Structure 1
C-alpha cells in the first residue's frame, strides 16, 4: 500500500539529562535524572504523523548496534513501514539532550549512520514528503526532486538551520520553521507575530507557497495565498519542549492528507504540540489523535 506520507530523515537515540539549569563554562553540576528515548527529527515526525492516523513510511539509516535495532522496532510498533530503513556498519546517530527546569532544551547531535542516508527512487512514493536537515543536503534535494516529479507535496523543516541550496527552494511547497530558523533564512529578526509575518512573507518569495513560523508560547504564524494569519498557543504547564516542533509538523501533515483545510491542520498541530510539551522525552511525548482533548 502506498503511504500517505514518506519521511526522509534522521533517526537518533536521545540521551536525555534533566538539570535544574545548564552549567556555565567549566562548571560541573549534579543532574536530576537520565534516560534514553528514540528520537531524531525524521523519526519523530514519522511517529507524529502515524499517531495522528496517517499511513507512514520511514526512509532512514541506522547502525548495526542495539540503538539501531531499538529505533527500528519503535517505528514498527507505531505501524510505520520500515522496509526502507537501511542498516549500515558503524554507530547509530545519537543526540545528547539537556533539559532544564523550565522545560527548555539544548541538544548536540552526533550524526553517525544518518550521514550515509541515500535518496533511492524506489523508496520514495507517497502523497507527502517530509524533509529536515539532519541528513546530507544533496540527498535531501534528490528526495525532493524524485517526489515532486511524482506530484507529491514537499514539506521542509529546515532544522538544524542552514543555508538552503537554490534548487531546494523551488521544490518546497510548505516550509515550517521556528523563530530562530525563520530569522536566519529571512535575514530578519523574529520575536513576535508581527516580525514572524514579515519573515514568513520574505521566505515565501523564495519558492514555498506556504510559510509557517512556530513561535512557542506565542503561537503560530501562517503566510500563504490567503494572506497572513496568527493562531494563538494553548496555555499548558511545560515539562519538556523536545519534539514539540516535530509533533506540530506531523499533526499538520496528517490533517492535510486527511483533507482538512490549512487552518484546521494548523489548529490540530497546535493542539498536538500542546500535549507534547506536558510530557518528557521525544517520541514518548508525542500524542495519539484520541489524546488531543487533553490539551
Structure 2
C-alpha cells in the first residue's frame, strides 16, 4: 500500500449562504449539500482517484451516515479493512460557505471519540509507505493516535488542522512532528502551532525533526521549507466556489508527488493543482481530479 490515512470520519453537511450571519440575525440558505468527509479521508480519496494504492484507519457509527461513508470509500477504491463500526452516531461537520467561498465549521465527533488502536490497524499503518495523519476532537482518540505514532517505524505525513494547532501545544505534538516526512499547515495553523509567522515557524518545525513543511497560503499559493531550501509556488488562477477540503486536496497532490519520487517544488505544484480543482466545486470531493487529469498536468510542468 502506498498511503494509509488515519483521522476522524464525518458526514459533511454544507450550507451555502450569502454571508456568515451576525449574532441574532436570520439569513436565507442558498443551497444545501451533503457528502462524506473527514480531513485525512478526503486526502485518501483524492489519492485513490489519482491511481495511488490507499487504505483508511477510522470509525463510523452503525447508522445511515456511517454506511454511506463506507460505501463511498469502497466506491473510490480505498481499502476499508481497518475501518470499524460502533453503535452510536457517525461524526458530523456543519459547514457554512459564503459567497466568497470562505467557510465556518462546527464539529460533532460522535463515535470518533470511541476510536482505539487495534493490532490490525498498526499492521495496516506499517504496511504503507506513508501514514497520513489528521486530527480527532476527543482526547482519548488523540492519545490512541499518539500511541500508534510512537510505535510506528515508518514516516508519517501530518495534517494537524485547526483542532491540533490551536488546542494542542508543541510538546504534545512533538512525536508527530519528529516523525513527519511532511507537515501540512495553512498560514493561521502555522502561527497557532509555533507562535510565529509561517516562515520562522516552518524553520522551527524542521529543527524539531520534520523533513518538509508545506504551508498553504490561499490565493498566494504555497510556501515549502526543507532542511536547506525555501520554495514559493504561485496558486492556480481559478474561480473559487468553496474552499472546503482545499487543504486536504493540496496534501493529496503533494503526497502523490512524493510517492512518485518528485522533488518538493514539483510536489507543491501538484498540490496547488489538486487544491484548485477542488475549490471549483461545492464540497471537498466533487472537484478532485482523476489520474488522467493529473498525468496531463505533469506533462505541462
Superposed, 1:30-69 pairs within 5 Å as 30-69=28-67
Instruction: Quote how far apart the aligned CAs of 1:170 are.
Output: 2.4
**TM-score w.r.t. structure 2 length?**
0.90
Q: Which residue of 2 aligns with 1:119?
A: 117
CA contact (8 A) 1:129 1:144 kept: no
Work out which of the residue numbers 153, 178, 202 in structure 1 matches 2:204: 202
Measured in 1, the distance between the counterparts of 2:6 and 2:149 equals 9
Measured in 2, the distance between the counterparts of 1:169 and 1:27 equals 42
1:68-93, CA deviations, whole angstroms, 9 ceiling, x for partnerless residues? 00000001111000111100000000
Work out which of the residue numbers 253, 256, 278 in structure 1 matches 2:255: 253
Instruction: Quote how far apart the aligned CAs of 1:121 are.
Output: 3.5
1:176-195, CA deviations, whole angstroms, 9 ceiling, x for partnerless residues? 10011100112014xxxxxx
Instruction: Quote how far apart the aligned CAs of 1:53 are.
Output: 1.5
Measured in 2, the distance between the counterparts of 1:291 and 1:167 equals 36
CA contact (8 A) 1:243 1:286 kept: no
Work out which of the residue numbers 128, 143, 167 in structure 1 matches 2:148: 143
Work out which of the residue numbers 71, 77, 80 in structure 1 matches 2:78: 80
Q: What runs of 5+ residues in structure 2 fail to find an aligned partner?
A: none
After superposition, the CA RMSD in angstroms is 1.7
Q: What runs of 5+ residues in structure 1 fail to find an aligned partner?
A: 190-195
Q: How many residues align?
A: 284
Measured in 2, the distance between the counterparts of 1:103 and 1:80 equals 29
* 1:183 and 2:191 aligned: yes
In structure 2, the residue corresponding to 1:212 is in which secondary structure? strand
* 1:173 and 2:181 aligned: yes
Instruction: Quote how far apart the aligned CAs of 1:142 are.
Output: 2.0
CA contact (8 A) 1:61 1:117 kept: yes
Measured in 1, the distance between the counterparts of 2:182 and 2:148 equals 15
Measured in 1, the distance between the counterparts of 2:176 and 2:244 equals 27
In structure 2, the residue corresponding to 1:173 is in which secondary structure? strand
Measured in 2, the distance between the counterparts of 1:131 and 1:117 equals 14
Measured in 1, the distance between the counterparts of 2:144 and 2:262 equals 30
Measured in 2, the distance between the counterparts of 1:115 and 1:46 equals 21
